[in-house]
Structure 1
Amino acid sequence: MSEKLFIGSSLLSKNQTGSLEFQIYYLTNRVLKLTDHLKLHSKDYSSQRGLWKILGKRKRLLTYLSRTNLTSYESLINKLSIRKLKIR
């Protein structure tokens, strides 16, 4: 696995492990690892299902963060370089 794809842990300190931002960071790191795995093993459907579950949880956390603290949401989106949520 290439290490340059994964996000460094210097974004958030170890004291914030329960915070919403750290949870989103951790889920994003897992998404990157799973997508790298699925590039090699394209028919691993159980990992694909796990990826979908992780993406759903990250999306729910991001919507909550966008509703409660918009500035923190925008800075986290920029740091992790992920797309903004679609507003319906």
Structure 2
Amino acid sequence: MSKKLFIGSSSFSKEQTGSMEFQISHLTNRVLKLTDHLKSHDKDYSSQRGLWGILGKRKRLLSYLSQTNLTSYENLINKLSIRKLKIR
């Protein structure tokens, strides 16, 4: 999915493409596509390595977002349904 197509199908405008929320949602989209690919090509180790890199980057961005803007973090993980919310 190209960037222009992704922006059109999401709730983000063209000016918000550098935002933390857009980056995380874009990485989540890539994770879903690679996961689907790896279901049928289980020995594609280069794609597995790429998936690990994407997951690591998304994890770092989510960690930073949770430290800086907790409400935005909670809204995003609920919208994307990627993590269970920890009660603090």
TM-score (norm 2): 0.83
Kindly indicate whether structure 1 or structure 2 has the higher relative contact order, using CA contacts under 8 Å at least 6 residues apart: 1
1:20–1:65 Cα contact (<8 Å) kept: yes
Matched with 1:38 is 38
Q: Deviations over 1:11-68 (max 9, x none)?
A: 3222200000000010000000000000010000000000000000000000000000
Root mean square deviation of aligned Cα? 1.6
Partner of 2:10: 10
Q: Percent identity?
A: 85
Structure 2 CA distance, aligned partners of 1:66 and 1:34? 25
Q: Distance in 1 between matches of 2:69 and 2:9?
A: 22
Tell whether the 8 Å contact from 1:63 to 1:85 is kept in structure 2 after alignment: no
List gaps (5 residues or longer) in structure 1: 1-7
Equivalent residue number for residue 70 of structure 1: 70
Q: Aligned pair count? A: 79
Q: CA deviation at 1:85?
A: 7.4
Deviations for 1:57-81, whole angstroms, at most 9, x for unmatched residues?
0000000000000000000001111
